[in-house]
């Protein structure tokens, strides 16, 4: 949409990214084609040289995907965006676009287990070191984690599944004082509840598989650039953006595409070219359908989660409840500051009977399904220590804020009373085992 700043985020969810012309389809077209035809080699050559805009191969870019990326870019208030095949691909691209062998990243320790493994194991094998810091660290402790070869800081708006809230201003200030960008995974909050760019973040990632899709129908990811971080101030730190790319006709991305376009263009022309973690046009179309109702769904997700959190808090069989939207939660004040209209639909809690009680509880659930999924229209439940985070040691689990007894419940769009009754009967069932 033109002049998107004039419209509320609710309107952008419905109509952002695509405005049909006279006689054009109301829904975004699905361009299910791998390749695109041109009249001359010269016309195609201009595309390869990035001298003209257009498409030549869907491994790099596709019109359907770019349309949906444009909507997410508008929702986040960024300058450029790209879709990826998954949230993991988005996290990898976001970091690898500016870091390589011999470089270093500072990351919050309270992040999704799959991301932790990507950083601590896989990318470490690529020669990139990571220092993990507590999200609750002091500014002095955070500053101490930086090295001369640090290239970025990474964190999650609301961590999965620890539900810690990132102090944007603390982490952004530290990152910028050391001349590096802050990268934030905004999956759990979505731009409906939080826009990290407004609090100093520079790059935002999403697993669009979660709330943005909202129906468990299509795996995907997205990267959005704020267009505010000036890479040219640190040319020696970011040579991939500020010096000629010999693998792509000697282009210097910051010179050709400016501060607002260099990062995403490089990620597309270089990383997507070489790794090919592209989202399919069909998946992008499905994602757009989810985005159209995102603003409506997030309100209900948060409403149900708060009701469930309060019910759990008042049950004597529950050892603890973690939900930043709940009064008295450790991160409630930060949540009110950065997400005054709601946080997320996910509640984490533990039972007094420990791991055994948790296992019994999950066996007794009837509405909530046991899934390796979250942020769905349907309520789902997971014991991370035995599933998504099972690659982590008990010590790593504790550092990440994911105790071995923790249960993660993603509250869907069902009636909140039905969800609470399902929890109560599952607790009763666990007691009787």
Place of tokens 């040219």: 232
**What are 148-170's pLDDT values in tens digits?**
999 999 999 999 988 999 999 99
| Pick from 394, 411, 415: nearest CA to 403 | 394
DSSP letters for 162-231 = T--B--HHHHHHHHHHTT-PEEEE-TTTHHHH--GGGGT--EEEEETTTTTT-SS----EEEEE-S---G
For the chain, what's the residue count? 433
Q: Are 309 and 321 in contact (CB under 8 A)?
A: yes
Lowest mean per-residue pLDDT among 122-131, 297-306, 386-395? 386-395
Q: What share of the chain is helix, strand, coil (3-state, %, to 5)?
A: 45, 15, 40
Considering Cα of 284, then 286, then 290, then 292, what sign does the dihedral take? positive
Average pLDDT score over residue span 77-105: 98
Average pLDDT score over residue span 373-385: 90
- Which of 50 and 215 is assigned the larger pLDDT? 215
DSSP 408: E
Instruction: Name the token pair of 302.
Output: 């948060």
Q: Are 262 and 50 in contact (CB under 8 A)?
A: no
Burial of 273 (0-12, 13-18, 19+ CB in 10 A): middle
At residue 433, the pLDDT reads: 67
At residue 140, the pLDDT reads: 98
**What are 122-151's pLDDT values in tens digits?**
999 999 999 999 999 999 999 999 999 999
**What are 262-299's pLDDT values in tens digits?**
999 999 999 999 999 999 999 999 999 999 999 999 99
Q: What are the b/e assignments for 49-74, b being 16+ CB within 10 Å?
A: ebeeeebbbbebbbbbbbbbbbbbbb
Cβ atoms within 10 Å of 305's Cβ, excluding its own: 27
Q: Are 261 and 80 in contact (CB under 8 A)?
A: yes
Considering Cα of 420, then 289, then 294, then 227, what sign does the dihedral take? positive
Give the domains, in start order, of the chain with CATH numbers: 18-289 (3.40.640.10), 295-432 (3.90.1150.10)
At residue 43, the pLDDT reads: 87
Share of the chain above pLDDT 70, in %: 98
């Amino acid at each position: 949409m033109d002049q998107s700043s004039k419209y509320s985020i609710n309107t952008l969810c419905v109509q952002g990214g695509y405005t049909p012309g006279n006689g054009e389809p109301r829904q975004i077209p699905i361009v299910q084609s791998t390749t695109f035809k041109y009249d001359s080699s010269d016309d195609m050559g201009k595309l390869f040289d990035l001298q003209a805009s257009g498409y030549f191969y869907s491994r790099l870019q596709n019109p359907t995907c770019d349309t949906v990326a444009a909507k997410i870019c508008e929702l986040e208030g960024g300058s450029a965006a790209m879709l990826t095949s998954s949230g993991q691909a988005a996290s990898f691209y976001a970091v690898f676009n500016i870091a390589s062998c011999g470089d270093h990243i500072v990351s919050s320790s309270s992040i999704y287990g799959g991301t932790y493994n990507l950083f601590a194991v896989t990318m470490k094998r690529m020669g990139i070191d990571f220092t993990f810091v507590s999200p609750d660290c002091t500014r002095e402790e955070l500053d101490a984690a930086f090295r001369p070869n640090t290239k970025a800081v990474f964190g999650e708006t609301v961590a999965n599944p620890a539900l810690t809230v990132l102090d944007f201003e603390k982490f952004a200030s530290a990152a910028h004082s050391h001349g590096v960008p802050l990268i934030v995974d905004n999956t759990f909050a979505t731009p409906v509840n939080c826009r990290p760019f407004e609090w100093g973040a520079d790059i935002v990632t999403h697993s669009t598989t979660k709330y943005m899709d909202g129906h468990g129908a299509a795996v995907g990811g997205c990267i959005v650039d704020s267009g505010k971080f000036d890479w040219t101030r640190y040319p020696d730190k970011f040579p991939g953006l500020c010096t000629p790319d010999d693998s792509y006709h000697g282009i210097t991305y910051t010179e050709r595409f400016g501060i607002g376009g260099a990062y995403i263009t490089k990620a597309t022309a270089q990383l997507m070219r070489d790794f090919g973690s592209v989202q399919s046009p069909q998946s992008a179309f499905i994602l757009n359908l989810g985005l159209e109702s995102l603003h409506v769904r997030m309100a209900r997700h948060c409403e149900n989660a708060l009701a469930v959190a309060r019910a759990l808090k008042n049950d004597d069989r529950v050892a603890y409840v973690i939900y930043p939207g709940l009064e008295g939660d450790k991160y409630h004040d930060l949540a009110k500051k950065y997400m005054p209209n709601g946080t997320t639909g996910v509640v984490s809690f533990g039972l007094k009977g420990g791991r055994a009680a948790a296992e019994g509880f999950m066996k007794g659930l009837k509405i909530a399904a046991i899934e390796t999924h979250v942020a769905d229209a349907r309520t789902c439940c997971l014991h991370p220590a035995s599933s998504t985070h099972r690659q982590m040691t008990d010590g790593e689990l504790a550092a990440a804020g994911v105790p071995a007894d923790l249960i993660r419940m993603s509250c869907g769009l069902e009636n909140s009373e039905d969800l609470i009754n399902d929890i109560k009967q599952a607790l009763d069932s666990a007691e009787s085992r």
